[in-house]
Amino acid sequence: MSSRPNHKLLTRVALSAVASALLVGAPLSQGYAAELKSILFVNPLPQYPAWRLIGDCIAKEAKANNIAETEAGPTGALNTTVMIQQIQQGIANSPGAIITFPASDGFAPILQQARDAGIRTATLYGAGGKASGAEVNVGANFTKMGGIYAEALADREGPQNVGLMVLGPTGPGKAFNDGFVAAAAKTKNVKVIAVVYTNDDAAKALDQANALLAAHPEINVIASHMGTATQGATSAIRAKELVGKVAFLANGTAGGGREGLADGTVYKLMLQDLCTAGTQVVDSLIKLNNGETVPEQLDVGLQMFRAEGIQEYLDKGWQ
């Protein structure tokens, strides 16, 4: 008997294996499971209203598609170390997909690690793109969001000297800062004076707002992409009797955002279609696992509001 390999037989076997995989719908790359059966959502702020809404909508959409969904997240303030540890534990448990908010640059390698283990990955309000480690990002990325904030000030009369309150010097905080600065440079009156960091911790917002106003009395606008900053920033403006002189650009209605529109401490606030973001991220993962093409970046509704017109969007579930 010849010891030479039968190339025709090997080719037929290989083609048969490929055909069988296609028939059962099994992905042929990176070892992804044929069916998405479970999702882990690592929520950055499970108790905060906006992220609680997103988490609830993720759970609802997963259940509607017969996918087991579990949620993890730090207790209290945002804690990136805890979140990354929870993702690492999730990788060990081999869920079908992991969703999270990439609060720092450190999330990219751990999400890539998940992908290498055959786990689908998605982010909410991250940077998007291949370098992020996520296959899809849902929600306006923070660079775009920073631009929207700066543009919202351009129609305000006079120089707009801005103090930014952001998450941190890397990740979403840096992206927001960069987007704001770039958009401000295209206006005639918007300028960033100083930047402070709170790590999305509501307990730090008052001190940081006071520090901005004390160190830079020329500031007449404070802006933040974090809903956790609203109560502290507006309290500082009121305490220093600067209502009408210093305005705040807020993210969402939580922490007194809507009340601030009424009393003049808030100039404009941003609302987002957060539940749709939660629904879309689950639907995107399902499509990816079924072999469908999904854009790396999926934007959801995001607008800046003054008091007029806001109720219509609140009634739709925007926050």
Pick the CATH number of 142-272 from 3.40.50.1700, 3.20.20.105, 2.40.50.100, 3.40.50.2300: 3.40.50.2300
Rounded CA-CA distance 16/36 in Å is 24
Residue 13: per-residue pLDDT: 39
Task: Indicate the pTM of the whole model.
Answer: 0.83
Per-chain mean pLDDT for the chain: 90
Mean pLDDT of 47-61: 96
- Collapse the DSSP code of 304 into the 3-class scheme (helix H, G, I; strand E, B; otherwise coil) and give the result: strand
Mean pLDDT of 116-134: 92
CA angle 263, 269, 272 (to 5 degrees): 145
Residue pLDDT, tens place only, 259-300: 999 999 999 999 999 999 999 999 999 999 999 999 999 998
Residue 5: per-residue pLDDT: 47
Tokens of 314: 């609140």
Domain ranges of the chain: 30-138+274-300, 142-272
| Helix intervals (H) in the chain | 7-24, 49-64, 80-93, 107-116, 142-153, 171-184, 202-215, 230-239, 257-263, 274-289, 310-315
Percentage of the residues of the chain whose pLDDT score is greater than 90:
81
Residue pLDDT, tens place only, 17-42: 433 333 333 343 457 878 999 999 99
- The domain covering 30-138+274-300 belongs, at the CATH homologous superfamily level, to Response regulator (3.40.50.2300)
Per CATH, 30-138+274-300 and 142-272 having the same topology is answered yes
